Chain A
Amino acid sequence: MSAPFIAKRPPPDFVLCTDRWTQPFWDAARQHRLVAARCASCGRFRMPPTPFCPNCRSQDIHWSTLRGEGVVYSYTVVSRAVLEGMDQHIPYVPAVVSLPDADGVRLISNVVDAPIDSIRVGSPVRVVWDQISPHVVVPRFTLIV
């Protein structure tokens, strides 16, 4: 238990499915740009993107490009394989990451490539890009040290 455990990437068996409202997020990810949906009418951020702004019901979206820095809002450490083939991917760290330059809207992602015992609620993190298949890039986050 003395060796530092490094947070790995979660199992890559992820099938991306999109619609016209979510596609721009994943398109931007392929270009290594972290974006968030913002209502073009009232300015409210919302993630995941949905067809209407819950604040003003507008359907107009402006996709804001973010700095890619966030704060760990909460996290868990998955250290037991509950699916076949998961063994080689544990431990990994699912995390809820708050994005200050999108009014604190949160993404469900992972903290990766960091010593697990250094991860805290409130840790500052920076986006890293994880190409998990030829056409799918997923944002993860790593600790800013």
Chain B
Amino acid sequence: MTDDMRRKTAVVGLGATPYYKRGESAPQTREELAGKAILAAVADSGLRVEDIDGFSYFAGGFDTGYLMETLGIPEVRFSAGLTGTGGGSAGCVGLAAAAIVSGQAEVVVCVGASQQGRQRFGTVTSSYDASPETAFFAAAGLVGPGHMFALLARRHMELYGTTRDHFAEVAMTLRRNAQRNPAALIRKPLTREDYFNAPMLADPHCLFDFCLESDGAVAVIVTSAARARHLRQRPVYVLASAQGGEASWGRSIYWMNMPDESFASSGHYSVARRLYQMAGIGPHEVDVAQIYDHFTSQVLMQLEDYGFCKKGEGGPFVADGNISYPDGTLPINTDGGQLSCGYVWGMTHVREAVEQIRGTAVNQVAAANIVLVTGGPSIIPVSGLLLQREP
């Protein structure tokens, strides 16, 4: 049964802290940021904090006992997370849905937070403890994900003729979305000239190909569809969620031995296929997409892996204006994305997807019925999520 999860659960609460530039959330702690987002999400839903009985995480998550202790949650029945890193940001909502559908919990919090005052993500790889595995990339001076994903971007350019103008199109499109979003951290106009004048950080990635380094927390509350219909907000149904990936992607950027057909990709191909299969839809039925944009080049590769265009055609697809709001065939990252709005390990994308379904987004897509959220292209597991308005 691949359709067991379909529309049986819904996101009923949404909460977030403001987005802060790197380090500016201090002296708040990371747990405090998460707590604020959770409390805001509970208030938004109309539920009580005491109703929470589950936590679903990704990228290491949080100490559930500490969150219970500080928030006054009497008992949890489910506390789990997707392994890996940012790849699980979309899939943690699917994990919450799985817990609810299987009867293990009823009101599950999904929460993510980032705080980069001590360790910026731009150099996070260099902070990893030395291990036999890290020895095979650390010696090369790959100190951050931006250096590693540049290797995939270069290969994509070589194989398919992708250009820096294509990357620029992603950056400029999302900046235009951010300019209309008061919550976005960067709202200055971004011209093609600005893009090409920017410092090259890891060729072919320049400054504007990198996401922001920011602080903040986002939480959503997931419960059963039946219960959702009696709560305060319009239910945002979990249509489908998939996670994992193929061995040929595996440790990806820490391995670099992916076969040629998947090296210059986002690693999402098999997850995307399973996601659509579970949902019973195809890519043409997605109205808006929130694509994990740690790097512009990876937006192109996800557009390909999720079937919005053919393999290798991500560049021409964005050049043709397809991802623009409001007139493109597939507006993406309507809040401005991680490139211009804020970076909270992909949870901003979950937030914006919920806003689109509710009809409360700043850049609202009029007919937003099905919204795709992707988790970060990274080591396995990667993940995807489809949310849907009331059928």
Chain A residues close to B by CB (< 8 Å): 10-11, 14-19, 21-22, 26, 47-48, 54, 73-80, 82-83, 86, 89, 92, 94-96, 105-110, 121, 132, 138
Contacts and interface: CB of A to CB of B under 8 A. Distances in A.
B270 to A, nearest CB: 17
A40 to B, nearest CB: 20
B210 to A, nearest CB: 11
Nearest to B126: A83
B154 A54 contact: no
A17 B140 contact: no
B200 interface: yes
Given A80-B200, A108-B256, A110-B141, A73 B136 contact: no
Contacts of A14: 135, 138-139
A94 B135 contact: no
A74 B123 contact: no
Among A48, A74, A80, A110, the one with the most B-chain Cβ atoms within 10 Å of its Cβ is: A74
B151 A17 contact: no
B259 to A, nearest CB: 10
B130 interface: yes
Interface stretch (B34-42, B142-150, B322-330, B368-376): B142-150
Interface residues of B, number: 37
Contacts of B154: 74-76, 121
Given A47-B257, A82-B122, A106-B257, A77 B140 contact: no
Contact of B135 (A18, A82, A86, A95): A18
B133 interface: yes
B380 to A, nearest CB: 14
Contacts of B122: 82
Contact of B141 (A10, A26, A105): A10
Interface string B179-211: 000000000000000000001111111000000
B144 A82 contact: yes
Interface in B201-224: 201-205
A22 B137 CA distance: 13
B133 A76 contact: no
Nearest to A79: B200
B132 A138 contact: no
A77 B151 contact: no
A110 B137 CA distance: 10
A10 B135 contact: no
A74 B130 CA distance: 24
A78 B141 contact: yes
A76 B132 CA distance: 24
Contacts of A26: 135
A67 B134 CA distance: 25
A73 B155 CA distance: 8
B341 interface: no
B121 to A, nearest CB: 11
Interface string B269-305: 0000000000000000000000000000000000000
Contacts of B102: none
Contact of A83 (B132, B143, B150, B255): B143
B382 interface: no
Nearest to B136: A48
13 contacts: A14-B138, A14-B139, A48-B135, A73-B155, A76-B203, A79-B199, A80-B200, A82-B122, A83-B123, A94-B147, A94-B151, A105-B257, A110-B140
Contact of A74 (B134, B151, B200): B151
B133 A48 contact: yes
Given A76-B202, A77-B203, A78-B141, A16 B130 contact: yes
Given A83-B143, A108-B256, A110-B140, A77 B202 contact: yes
Nearest to A46: B257
B247 interface: yes
B131 interface: yes
Interface string B149-163: 011101100100000
A4 B30 CA distance: 46
B141 A89 contact: yes
